[in-house]
């Protein structure tokens, strides 16, 4: 079975990271795969290509898709001759499906990655595409994969076709054991942080949905209870060139305790330095960074958006999406715990991902769905 995947872009993001993880997993999702990105090359392009996966880039300017681009997509589909087309993210769902019209023997699947659509801060053009996709969902895709139950419920509420939907949660590579104290101390030392200084980590791109202003408020609240800490911000545009964000940190009085590390490709080696991962997002589907942190035994304090509550369970703290003081108090509560207690909760986090959200299980679910759709089950 050959699958062709069309995605809006291949920069660092939740959908892009998960697609890369899915296609490069040791348990294969299909015998042969190919990828088309509507944008130019991104951080994940090289990872896929290094794994031997053909990747095509259309370099369509943001918001500037034309009929000629649909024709180009159609030619690539004809050349690829896939058994199944899987599209990822709203723009790719729409353009990919339009390009696939007439390929009757080839099923088309959409992939929806977001919940809390009403609160999602997006461009008016993207909001229009979401509206159009909802109306077209009755005809264009054969099935719709949602990354979480909340994503399914929210999209149905916004008009997407309910009977075509199924949920497959994200999956994560889980190490055989939780990193020990020595590993965590080495990770901190690599960042010039003393072993005894608690570290709050944040990973994500600079975007309104990630609510960094709210996270700064939470850290300022936390600092009144735990004044000796370091906060690490990792992600695209979270660097020293971000004047606006640096001003927020300075106004909150915590700038000297915060490091903006920008986009990194060594996140796996940085995660053990975290004592807590914090997320103040106002909209998520299935937050990859939370699962990645938990998979190495890092407790998470997050807002109740998307699938965060189901993911964290009893191995962290979940607060209302508008409760930044509660988020700050939750972070402080973890950082004040003795190391042994933090380790116990970290073990719960690691075992929860291992038992419920392992990547090999996720890959098998995708493959089973693909086989059923191709075979017309």
Give the Cα separation of 124 and 238 in Å (integer): 25
Q: Is domain 2-171+359-375 annotated with CATH 3.40.50.2000?
A: yes
β-partners of residue 165 are 144
Q: Where are the domains of the chain?
A: 2-171+359-375, 181-356
**The CATH fold of domain 181-356:** Rossmann fold (3.40.50)
User: Mean pLDDT in runs of 10 for the chain (377 residues)?
Assistant: 96 88 92 95 93 94 81 95 96 95 91 81 84 95 93 94 95 89 91 93 93 97 96 95 97 97 90 96 87 95 91 94 96 92 93 94 96 87
By the 8 A CB rule, do 4 and 82 touch?
Answer: yes
pTM summary value = 0.86
Terminal-to-terminal C-alpha distance of the chain: 15
Per-position DSSP letters for 229-279, written without gaps between them = -EEEEESTT-STT-HHHHHHHHHTT-GGGEEEEES-S-HHHHGGG-SEEEE
Structure tokens, 345: 């909760």
Residue 78: exposed, middle, or buried by beta-carbon count in 10 A (0-12, 13-18, 19+)?
A: exposed
Same fold, 2-171+359-375 and 181-356: yes
By the 8 A CB rule, do 286 and 308 touch?
Answer: no
Give the Cα separation of 377 and 369 in Å (integer): 9
Give the Cα separation of 353 and 115 in Å (integer): 21
Amino acid 377: pLDDT: 56
By the 8 A CB rule, do 6 and 73 touch?
Answer: yes
By the 8 A CB rule, do 202 and 233 touch?
Answer: yes
Amino acid 67: pLDDT: 86
């Amino acid at each position: 079975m050959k699958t062709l995947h069309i995605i809006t872009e291949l920069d660092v993001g939740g959908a892009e990271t998960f697609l890369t993880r899915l296609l490069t997993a040791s348990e294969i999702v299909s015998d042969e795969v190919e990828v088309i990105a509507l944008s130019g090359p991104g951080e994940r392009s090289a990872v896929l290509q290094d794994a031997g996966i053909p990747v095509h880039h259309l370099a369509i300017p943001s918001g500037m898709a034309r009929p000629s681009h649909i024709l180009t997509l159609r030619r690539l589909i004809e050349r690829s001759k896939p058994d199944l087309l899987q599209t990822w993210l709203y723009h790719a769902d729409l353009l990919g499906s339009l390009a696939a019209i007439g390929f009757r023997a080839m099923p088309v699947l959409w992939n929806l990655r977001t919940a809390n659509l009403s609160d999602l801060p997006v461009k008016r053009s993207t909001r229009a595409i979401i509206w159009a996709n909802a109306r077209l969902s009755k005809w264009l895709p054969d099935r719709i994969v949602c990354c979480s139950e909340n994503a399914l419920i929210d999209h149905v509420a916004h008009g997407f076709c309910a009977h075509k939907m199924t949920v497959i949660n994200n999956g994560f590579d889980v190490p055989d054991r939780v990193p020990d104290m020595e590993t965590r101390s080495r990770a901190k030392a690599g960042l010039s942080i003393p072993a005894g200084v608690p570290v709050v980590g944040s990973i994500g791109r600079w975007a309104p949905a990630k609510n960094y202003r709210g996270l700064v408020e939470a850290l300022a609240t936390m600092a009144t209870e735990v004044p000796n800490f370091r906060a690490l911000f990792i992600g695209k545009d979270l660097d020293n060139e971000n004047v606006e964000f640096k001003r927020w940190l300075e106004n909150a009085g915590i700038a000297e305790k915060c490091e903006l590390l920008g986009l990194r490709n060594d996140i796996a080696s940085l995660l053990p330095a975290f004592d807590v991962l914090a997320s103040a997002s106002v909209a998520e589907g299935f937050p990859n960074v939370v699962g990645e942190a938990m998979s190495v035994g890092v407790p998470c304090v997050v807002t109740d958006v998307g699938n965060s509550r189901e993911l964290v369970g009893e191995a962290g703290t979940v607060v209302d999406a508008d409760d930044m003081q509660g988020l700050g108090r939750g972070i402080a509560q973890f950082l004040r715990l003795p190391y042994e207690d933090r380790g116990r909760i970290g073990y719960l986090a690691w075992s929860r991902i291992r038992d419920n959200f392992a990547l090999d299980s996720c890959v098998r679910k995708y493959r089973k769905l693909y086989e059923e759709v191709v075979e017309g089950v």
